[in-house]
Structure 1
Amino acid sequence: MSRRELDANVLESTVLGRTVRTRAHSLSVWFVLALRLMMGIAFLWSGADKVLAAEPFDAAGYLQYATPENGSPFADLFVAMGQTDWFVAVVNVAVPWGEVLIGLGLIVGAFTRLAAFFGAFMMLMFYLGNWDMAHGPINGDFAYMLTFLAVAALGAGRVLGLDAYIEQYPVGGRPLVERYPFLSYLLG
């Protein structure tokens, strides 16, 4: 393996003055793709189930009653959200359609970081609302949140995804992300 190929697999980050460096295995790219597709399918499925249900999705009952019953320290916030008609109306659209759009974005690898950010935000809200410390602070909602963040951090949309093409789309003779660097926070 050439020096350039070895350097391509290097992961390095400095946080608070501490640098961590490692080399990813060449198979890592396939696991990144698998994570992206797994989360995409899970969210598309969940959202489509809500959108296509016989009864329209309604978050009011969950917001008002589920969190006080499970002992969430954020129960008062969730109850207040559930008692605010305009907020419930927004959530009733945002949750099912957000899940569909997040799922589609991840499956095709387009605007992957944006989709993963909103997926992680939704999972944080589910984590706070589904509060369950019976087995400690780490549950499925928390694990999904971290999976979304890993998908975003690893640039999973560039692995057999449309982000690799969108980033390089020529605008004024330069690749899109060179011309508009802020897009690197949404693509990848």
Structure 2
Amino acid sequence: MATEKMTGGPNVFESKIGGVAVRGQAHSLSAWFVLALRMMMGIAFLNAGLDKLLAAEPFSAQGYLLYGVNEASPLIGMFTWMGTTPWFVEFVNIAVPFGQVAIGLGLIVGAVVRLAAFFGAMMMGLFYFANWSVEHGMINGDFAYLLVFLAVAAFGAGRILGLDALIERYEIDGVPLIEKYPRLDYVLG
């Protein structure tokens, strides 16, 4: 299902998906709140990654994958496979802490924010299913953080006091990078 870009004035955002259009008008202070969300998630992920990398014991995801996943999770089989597959455990042992640091740094400095937010949302989606508990409803902190990552990406938070604004304007042969390579809009912003 493709989305359609629509044009709006200052502080107006619109989107059309599957024939349904939505339109909103942001308050001028919205940029500060989007920046705050970007920074909050960046600091949280940087701290989580550094805690794993600087811990006295090397990080290992195997115990969590085999014993920390809620047995009610609809993906329990997938997590069990992950935890019992040695090459995958080794991959996760590197990808999680270094990924969290990279996501955190990207968000803090505002560089490749949409890409960082995508991987942050993907990680939170996996945590959501691993920590599966619906006694109090389908929404929990992992799901809320997933939505925060998606909002950070959707609002182009890297353009708000971030390096993405500078990267997009960098010129190659006199043409701004984002105009020369418009698909970078999926990574920057």
TM-score by length of 2: 0.94
Cα offsets for 1:38-74 (capped at 9, x unmatched): 000000011100000000110011111222x441111
Q: Identify which of 67, 89, 93 aligns with 1:65.
A: 67
Residues 70-108 of structure 1: CA distance to partner in whole angstroms, max 9, x if unpaired?
411111110011000000000000001100000000000
CA–CA distance in structure 2, aligned partners of residues 137 and 94 of structure 1:
27
Runs of 4 or more off by more than 3 Å in structure 1?
none
Distance 2:24 2:67 in 1: 46
d(CA) in 2 for partners of 1:133, 1:18? 30
Q: Which runs of 5+ in 1 are unaligned?
A: 1-5
Secondary structure, in 3 states, of the residue corresponding to 1:57?
coil
Look up the match of 1:115. 116
Q: Deviations over 1:100-141 (max 9, x none)?
A: 000000000000000000000000001111111121110000
Secondary structure, in 3 states, of the residue corresponding to 1:55? coil
Matched, 1:164 2:165: yes
Alpha-carbon shift at residue 16 of structure 1 (Å) = 1.4
Which of 32, 35, 38 is equivalent to 2:34?
A: 32
The separation in 2 between residues aligned to 1:98 and 1:134, in whole angstroms, is 31
Match for residue 142 of structure 1? 143
* CA apart distance, 1:20: 1.2
Q: Which residue in 2 is equivalent to 1:186?
A: 187
Match of 1:95 in 2: 96
Q: Which runs of 5+ in 2 are unaligned?
A: 1-7
1:56 alignment partner, one of 55, 58, 62: 58
Distance 1:110 1:186 in 2: 9
Partner Cα distance (1:160, 1:61) in 2: 40
Letter matched to residue 88 of structure 2 = F
Name the TM-score, length of structure 1 as normaliser: 0.94
Comparing both structures, which one devotes a greater share of its residues to helix?
A: 1
